A and B are shown apart, each in its own frame.
Chain A
Amino acid sequence: MNIFVLMKRTFDTEEKISISGGKINEDGAEFIINPYDEYAIEEAIQVRDAQGGEVTVITVGSEEAEKQLRTALAMGADKAVLINTEDDLEYSDQFTTAKILAEYLKDKDADLIIGGNVAIDGGSGQVGPRVAELLNIPYVTTITNLEINGSTVTVVRDVEGDSEVIETSLPLLVTAQQGLNEPRYPSLPGIMKAKKKPLDELELDDLDLEEDDVEAKTKTIEIYLPAQKQAGKVLEGELADQVKELVSLLHNEAKVV
């Protein structure tokens, strides 16, 4: 089974966000594998272990993503590919990323492609389905279970809390939802082995893509932080009075009930 994982390097979920020069300030921030992509990597490893084959983890980004790719290799992926767009692209959006990934994947005979259902930084959740459409293969998003039986695949899809049991076939692209599995931590031998596993670096040129082919269709014109909330009001006094006051505040001041 030829399995590919789409991975993104993101800010750690605990990081505070600040802005400098109109951009999110990255100085000193911790970066991680997007948490949903961790589920994707884990699932890919489990499928390979059950069915045989190879797991390749791909990311589009800058050299800095090598660290997260090595972590994926340490978890158990076989190969990693960094498509480095740092020198070529100033702006990119989901159109850009999906086009690059699809261009890379189109002649790889992928049986299964797994991504996270959303990246916790940009939060758009577009890249998986876009890639599937460009490759003309079926996809199922936000999955919580995956079973492969020959070329028949049964997946469970989370739909706002309800579950759909879906039957489909390979080749297939799926995106991971929380609950799909428990991602493993890299083991020490895993980390040692990862250093020797192949990590290829490509640029747009290697994919026969020009900057114009992948030019973003959208543009960010401003980034800002939410208005600082005024310190909330913690009520005081007898509990019964606090409850009365709260109801009155919600009704008369906040006007939400």
Chain B
Amino acid sequence: MARKVLVLGEVRDGQLRNVSYEAVGAAKTIAEGGEVVGVLLGASVSSLAEELIQYGADRVVVVEDEKLAQYTSDGYAQGLIAVIESEQPEGLVFGHTSLGKDLSPRVAGKLSSGLISDVTYIEVEGGNIVFTRPIYSGKAFEKKIVTDGLIFATVRPNNIAPLEKDESRTGDVSTLSVDIKDLRTIIKEVVRKATEGVDLSEAKVVIAGGRGVKSEEGFEPLKELAQVLGGAVGASRGACDAEYCDYSLQIGQTGKVVTPDLYIACGISGAIQHLAGMSNSKVIVAINKDPEANIFNVADYGIVGDLFEVVPMLTEEFKKLKVNA
């Protein structure tokens, strides 16, 4: 059954986030041959429409307003609901990001619809769109379907493959003018703590440090390795609690959930609450001097040793590999 599916393109620092391309890929599956329509909200975002189309959107609707320069649930909900009312889609996809998590339940509430959050896989099976998502912090999975109304989902970054970029693709870009009314929450200030460089929740490679890193300086060798691999640095709560790094790096049940291709855990014991944030990574490497550490039970490859010896050696080896490649 062909459906029209809307995808919210999420803009950060003037660029579309990767997860938005993955959301387009998800929307294609849900659309079953129907139309995929990108939606862009912001102060000045129409220049990004082309990119959404190159990644598979058939056309794009843009809502521009100064009040949408920063994300607020009131502003974005008004913009998005207006687009939904004019397009009447049968499906809706957001990224499961901070923005997507904040906005999607509100939109679902407004539309009295279901919402399947944090989806890692989508397939068409027996006439249904079947969504797979982790539950119990990744200790189990469930498959869900929508039984009534709009098919609405948020997709976890790094799990659903985007379509190949096709620079020859073209599509219509239209503007919808929406009168964005009073915002009940006003952002007074944004304090940037998250790292410059690669975004932890979307990184393909994550180098994570735990209490074994021992100090703030102890993170330096990890940063170098991350740089060589084009990855991001993360941490256990142990490292954050000990003030070796900012809480914005924390991975786990009460931190970020990451699913990179490669996760290298350095000086992390592998507590269950840490595993909750990374156990679905494709390949896990553990570096720990305690051979009994639980992290080795989830690791694909392990080195028993001192991270301060192993990590710099790894960095050198990867540098050689890059040179030869």
Binding site for B on A (CB under 8 A): 11, 13-14, 16-17, 19, 24, 35-36, 93-95, 98, 120-134, 138-142, 154, 159-169, 178-179, 215-226, 229, 232-235, 239-240, 242-244, 246-247, 249-251, 254, 256-257
Complex interface: chain B residues within 8 A of A242 (CB): 303, 305, 310
6 closest pairs, A vs B, by CB?
Answer: A161-B248, A217-B114, A133-B109, A161-B194, A138-B184, A126-B105
Complex interface: chain A residues within 8 A of B147 (CB): 216-219
B105 touches A223 (CB 8 A): no
Please, how many angstroms separate the alpha-carbon atoms of A132 and B77 in the complex?
A: 13
- Chain A interface: which of B47-55, B160-168, B280-288? B280-288
> Is B58 positioned at the interface, with any CB of A under 8 Å from its CB?
no
Complex interface: chain B residues within 8 A of A225 (CB): 139-141
For A243, give its contact among B109, B300, B303 (CB under 8 Å): B303
> Is B148 positioned at the interface, with any CB of A under 8 Å from its CB?
yes
Please, how many angstroms separate the alpha-carbon atoms of A160 and B149 in the complex?
A: 31
Q: 0/1 per residue, B101-125, Cβ < 8 Å to A? A: 1111110111011111110000000
A169 touches B149 (CB 8 A): no
Q: 0/1 per residue, B298-315, Cβ < 8 Å to A? A: 111111110001100110
B190 touches A218 (CB 8 A): no
Given contacts A13-B272, A229-B298, contact A234 B248 (CB under 8 A): no
A167 touches B305 (CB 8 A): no
Please, how many angstroms separate the alpha-carbon atoms of A159 and B100 in the complex?
A: 11
B115 touches A226 (CB 8 A): no
Kindly report which residue of chain A lies nearest to residue B272, judged by CB atoms.
A14
Complex interface: chain A residues within 8 A of B280 (CB): 226
> Is B253 positioned at the interface, with any CB of A under 8 Å from its CB?
yes
Please, how many angstroms separate the alpha-carbon atoms of A123 and B300 in the complex?
A: 26
B227 to chain A, nearest CB (A): 13
Given contacts A125-B105, A226-B138, contact A218 B186 (CB under 8 A): no
Complex interface: chain B residues within 8 A of A168 (CB): 184-186
B190 touches A223 (CB 8 A): no
Given contacts A233-B302, A246-B303, A256-B282, contact A165 B138 (CB under 8 A): no
B91 to chain A, nearest CB (A): 13
Kindly report which residue of chain B lies nearest to residue A167, judged by CB atoms.
B186
